[in-house]
């Protein structure tokens, strides 16, 4: 665990010594699993490319050639599948009457001479 964490943070694999308890304490702390359990440190490569780890692709069901939607909000990058993005919009609009209002507007526009 410690070797993996140091490799991700510094880009250089380094063995943990018994005296380097800071990383061990970090990994053992309750918030680490909560906040960092699904966090992946990725490197931006040639021409801005980012490679998603296989574990992440499998968890999200992503295959080669699939698209993801990337959004920046408050300096945070969020990536999701287009179907998940559409689902979030649908859930946010559910019960608001927006769709019915839009359809009524379109019907009124179609009825104009």
Q: Secondary structure of the chain in the HEC alphabet?
A: CHHHHHHHHHCCCCCCCCCCHHHHHHHHCHHHHHHHCCCCCCCECHHHCECCCHHHHHHHCCCCCCCCEEEEECCEEEEECHHHHHHHHHHHHCCCCHHHHHHHHHHHHHHCC
**CB of 38 within 8 A of CB of 70?**
no
Quick one: tokens of 4? Answer: 């993996």
- pLDDT class for 25, splitting at 50, 70, 90? low
pLDDT for 83-103, tens place per residue? 888 888 888 888 888 888 889
- pLDDT class for 28, splitting at 50, 70, 90? low
Q: How many CA atoms lie within 13 A of 37 on its CB side?
A: 7
For the beta carbon of residue 110, count every other beta carbon within 10 angstroms: 7
Q: Does the pLDDT value for residue 73 go beyond 50?
A: yes
pTM summary value: 0.47
Q: How many angstroms separate the Cα of 50 from the Cα of each of 15, 34, 35, 37, 53?
A: 26, 24, 22, 20, 10
Quick one: tokens of 104? Answer: 């009524």
- Say what percent of the chain tops pLDDT 70: 67
């Amino acid at each position: 665990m410690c070797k993996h964490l140091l490799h991700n943070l510094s880009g250089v694999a380094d063995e943990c010594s018994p005296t380097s308890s800071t990383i061990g304490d970090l990994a053992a702390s309750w918030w680490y699993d909560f906040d960092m359990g699904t966090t992946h440190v990725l490197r931006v490569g040639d021409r801005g490319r980012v490679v998603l780890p296989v574990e992440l692709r499998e968890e999200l069901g992503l295959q080669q050639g699939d698209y993801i939607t990337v959004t920046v909000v408050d300096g945070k990058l969020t990536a999701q599948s287009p179907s998940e993005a559409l689902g979030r919009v649908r859930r946010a609009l559910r019960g608001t009457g927006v769709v019915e209002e839009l359809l009524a507007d379109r019907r009124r526009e179609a009825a104009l001479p």
